[in-house]
Chains A and B, each alone.
Chain A
Amino acid sequence: MKQRVFWSAAIAGMLALAGCGSATGNEPSSNSASGKLVVWDWKSSDKTATAYVEKAKADFAKKHPGVTVEFVAQPFDQYYTLLGAAIQAGKGPDVMMFNGGGQIRDRVDALVPLDQYVTQDKARLAGWDAFVKDGKAYASPVTLQGHPIYFNKGLYKKAGLDPERPATTWSGFTADCAVVTRATGASCFALGNKEGIGIQFFLSAFGSGILTPQEYDDWIAGKRDWNSADVKQVFQLWKDVNDRGLNSKGGNSTTLFTDAFGIFQSGKATNIVGLMSDIGHWKDFNEFLGADNVGVMKSPVITAGATPSLPFDGGIGYGVAKWTKDPALAADLVRSLTTTDALAAFYAAAGAVVSDTTVKTSDGGPAVSAIVADLKTGKPALHVALSSKTIELMGRLSQQILEGSVSVDGALKQLGESDRS
């Protein structure tokens, strides 16, 4: 009896194998030839992106009624692993999402330069630089990603400070922090550096308050002097802030997303370096603290001669794979994914500050208005200019600096070597 069950299971398994083989084994190797485009991203399954994707699909369907579009939302954890495997196999999606900066620049070999297809979008959209390598754009920006310093106005009020006039110098800023901590027990910063992201945000948020405008521009242009006093000041400050107890506790074991943002959202920290795209941003904070209690400031002036600005770049964007059969068709889909209508829907549902700066943000509360106003004087973020390898090393070293197992000078030496190679 038992044997019969086993055998029937085994035979059923074999039949299933054979059956499936005939049903799905003969798929055409090219999607676009059969009138289908496949898009990979890690957003389209989010509830907040539904309207955006629908708008983009509708726009594309108007232009190309015979072509079906399939969005495949991949888990972000494994996204670049999957993409790497697809690139190696030379088979994969026609259109794919990228983070700006190192992640796309490392993979331009697998992408089609988009410049000839998107000339009409160049002026309307901001944030192209994060997707450019050697003068060619490989993706159209969807969002802008930046690192505003958010603060909790409610805590300022409780401590008797004026929330409309945050300090503009470092000493003033830390003095305010001390007042708030005494009055409410909230720490100055919510720090999450488990993934080594905390340092990236810190570097970019406070860099413009430390480096001179010339140093800043040189850094972005690739002329980075890791031995300069100002660069050292950034990392020394990273250490001092922690040594002086300004950070929430256990920064090295706290994740930035969910944990550190949770600390800020529940009023246990006064400031946090956040984001402005679709998560860890003003809208999330408004939800917990109330729109009137979410403040945004630029970096205080830490070194004389610095001109603080909002650090921002293109956030996420869509690019076209080299192996797609009809690059023009795929590029058209990218264009549909960056129409004003679609982006407006993304802003409305997710609160993302999008690449199309004509999208109205006046209904979002004071924080987003302040961010959008700062875009005009904003500059590219310092960490986005670094290679993936240096970023990864910086994350590890930042943890060791907090632990005390590496000195600031030692870390800078390693970073300088990594950046040069």
Chain B
Amino acid sequence: MPLGDSLPLSARSARAERADDMDAAPRRRSRSGRSSWERLAPLVLVAPAVLVIVVFRLWPLLLGVNFSFTGDGDRNGAAVGLDNYAELFADPLFLGALRNVVWLVLLLPIAVAIPGMLATFIYLRVPGHRFYRSVYFFPAVLSPVIVGSIFNLLLAFDGPLNGLLGLVGLGPVDWLGDSRVAMFTVVGVHIWATFGMALVVFLSGFATLDPALLDAARSDGASLPQVIRHVIVPGLSRTIQFVFVTTMIGMLTSMFGLLYVMTSGGPGGSTYLPEYYVWIQQGQMNRPAFAAAASTVLFLVMLVVGLAQVGFLRRTGKED
């Protein structure tokens, strides 16, 4: 879909400057002539959304931050200052989980490029495109638990994939049992399981692409890679930005189910992610306040990574 600038507001203001004289007349009229309801209209439009987000998201977040300065177990409820945070940053497991976040960010372009390429091919009507469009979404409807279970079997040490590798003379890989490989295996399965969603977004993004441009490029004899590079990527830059942001959020917040089923954070803690760490501390270790501290750090990391990325994408988007 024709997604606006990541911060739509600035897009709007830029446009407003350009089309100043067209804009000015009705705007002025609305200020003087219309009722106060009209002036308040935008506030009324955002109010319910703001209310829901503040009460059920930001407020719990603040509660959680507050809670993170208290103790667990014997020190239940007592103020402990920054103790939880100190312990957190001394825990190699948590640091390892943060390191894995860096890997996720580095792998992000692949997770965006794959559905982008596939959507492009579907848009260009490769043979069978209708069929692909339908079935590529299938993994997304299955729960991560069943997807994880199936891949556990396929990727088992004596499973079918290693059997295939053996046929072509490659040694077996312990996909989920080798700490150097396991994280990439889980990310790969996650990408496989969710690319259908990004595909949907990409496909509706093609709505804004002017077919005339494509036809022109084609009649100029442009090759497929050239068409992608010079027509599709610039035309979809906003969609791409959007998919980047949402895919990252997906990777950083919703890999829990797969992790749990496929590796349980192992081997040796090599596939821990912060959200899994939070879950373990809260549920299995019964340390809710410590988990709240880990949550707070996770939120800050997400915010920094996310906003940095949005900023980066906006800058590259403007250069186009």
A interface residue numbers (CB < 8 A to B): 77-78, 80-84, 88, 106-107, 109, 194-196, 249-255, 259, 388-389, 392, 395-397, 399-400, 402-403, 405-406
Contacts and interface: CB of A to CB of B under 8 A. Distances in A.
B109 interface: no
B90 to A, nearest CB: 12
A106 B73 CA distance: 8
Contact of B158 (A88, A107, A250, A392): A250
Interface stretch (B2-10, B239-247, B275-283): B275-283
Contact of B157 (A88, A106, A254, A405): A254
B179 interface: yes
B285 A400 contact: no
A252 B73 CA distance: 32
Interface string B255-289: 00000100111111100000000011011111010
Contact of A81 (B152, B269, B282): B282
A254 B286 contact: no
A107 B182 CA distance: 33
B267 A399 contact: yes
Interface string B139-159: 000000000000010011110
Given A196-B264, A249-B157, A250-B158, A389 B176 contact: no
Contacts of B157: 249-250, 253-254
B280 A255 contact: no
Interface of B: 73, 76, 93, 152, 155-158, 174-179, 182, 260, 263-269, 279-280, 282-286, 288
A403 B268 contact: yes
Given A396-B266, A400-B268, A106 B285 contact: yes
Closest 7 pairs (CB-CB, A-B): A250-B157, A253-B177, A81-B283, A252-B177, A399-B267, A253-B176, A400-B268
A194 B286 CA distance: 22
B177 A80 contact: no
A36 to B, nearest CB: 26
A194 B284 contact: no
Interface centre among A77, A252, A259 (most CB of B within 10 A): A252
Contacts of A80: 283-284, 286
B155 to A, nearest CB: 8
Given A80-B286, A396-B268, A403-B268, A252 B174 contact: yes
A109 B76 CA distance: 10
Given A84-B282, A255-B152, A399 B76 contact: no
B146 to A, nearest CB: 13
Given A252-B174, A392-B280, A84 B286 contact: yes
